[in-house]
């Protein structure tokens, strides 16, 4: 039995859902409301001591960290394969997965957290907000959330986040010159890992701000056309939800655009 503790707008959870759908697996979903910090409740921390989503539970045993979960699913359910067959292709796949974990995920958090998570926290009394943030297990994540809570998109983290997105999109453009997908000619865990971070740009209507590469544009279109993307990601963004997110993104557009490199600024 497979269970996934998840949140619709978590890119980490989205990429695991993509892999589950690509492999045609049946699983039970457990919603964790991040805006209310349900991820910091004792019963959830017992499953995932880092207090993040997703958490996969397979046959009663938890597996944490989204990239590890994706590789676990590939090991446990190898068909259809989402790894390139040759060692070099697998190395390229893991390179992109590491770029997502180390660079793109924190960048996405700096852009998305102020619009998705901050409003609900601001409704709480100061003492309750501080008590919740004090429970975040990792100091860097805890302090970043404090900055984003206080300053929103004016936090110093935002400029670096925009730069990271732009740099990695340029690197993707070069990688896609060699194949249809980022690690070669096969959709792989690398593509499943990257695509949710473009969903963030899509939902806020920021794609035109960041993506000036035809190769990357067409890659994301191919991702969105896959049944797995429609089921694992798009279906969680009904028309009304997407319209509100785009209104939020439009209102914040100037705060994001100011950090773009001059050639990209619009």
Give the pTM: 0.94
- Predicted confidence (pLDDT) per residue in 15-74, tens digit: 999 999 999 999 999 999 998 899 999 999 999 999 999 999 999 999 999 999 999 999
DSSP string, 15-60: HHHHHHHHTT---EEEE--GGGTGGGSHHHHTT-TT--S-EEEETT
Q: Is the pLDDT of residue 265 over 60?
A: no
Q: 106 exposed, middle or buried (CB, 10 Å; 0-12, 13-18, 19+)?
A: middle
- Predicted confidence (pLDDT) per residue in 192-226, tens digit: 999 999 999 999 999 999 999 999 999 999 999 99
pLDDT-derived band at 262, boundaries 50, 70, 90: confident
Give CA angle at 233 (38, 137), nearest 5°. Answer: 30
Could you identify the residue written with the tokens 């017992």? 46
Please report, rounded to a whole number, the percentage of residues in the chain having pLDDT higher than 70: 98
Q: Average pLDDT, whole number, for the chain?
A: 96
């Amino acid at each position: 039995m497979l269970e996934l503790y998840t949140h619709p707008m978590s890119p980490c959870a989205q990429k695991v859902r993509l892999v589950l759908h690509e492999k045609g697996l049946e699983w039970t979903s457990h919603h964790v409301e991040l805006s209310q910090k349900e991820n910091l409740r004792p019963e959830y921390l017992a499953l995932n001591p880092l207090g993040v989503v997703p958490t996969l539970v397979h046959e009663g045993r938890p597996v944490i960290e989204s990239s590890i979960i994706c590789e676990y699913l590939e090991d446990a359910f190898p068909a259809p394969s989402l790894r390139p067959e040759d060692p070099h292709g697998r190395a390229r796949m893991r390179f992109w997965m590491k770029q997502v974990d180390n660079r793109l995920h924190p960048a996405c958090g700096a852009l998305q957290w102020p619009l998705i998570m901050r409003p609900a926290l601001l409704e709480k009394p100061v003492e309750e907000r501080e008590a919740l943030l004090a429970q975040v297990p990792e100091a860097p994540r805890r302090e970043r959330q404090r900055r984003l809570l206080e300053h929103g998109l004016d936090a110093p983290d935002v400029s670096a986040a925009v730069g990271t997105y732009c740099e990695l999109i340029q690197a993707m453009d070069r990688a896609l010159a060699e194949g249809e997908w980022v690690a070669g000619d096969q959709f792989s865990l690398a593509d499943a890992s990257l695509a949710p971070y473009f969903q963030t740009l899509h939902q806020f209507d920021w794609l035109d701000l960041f993506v000036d590469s035809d190769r990357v544009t067409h890659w994301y279109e191919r991702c969105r056309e896959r049944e797995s993307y429609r089921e694992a990601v798009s279906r969680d963004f009904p028309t009304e939800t997407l319209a509100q997110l785009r209104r939020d993104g439009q209102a914040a557009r100037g705060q994001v655009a100011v950090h773009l490199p001059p050639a990209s600024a619009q």
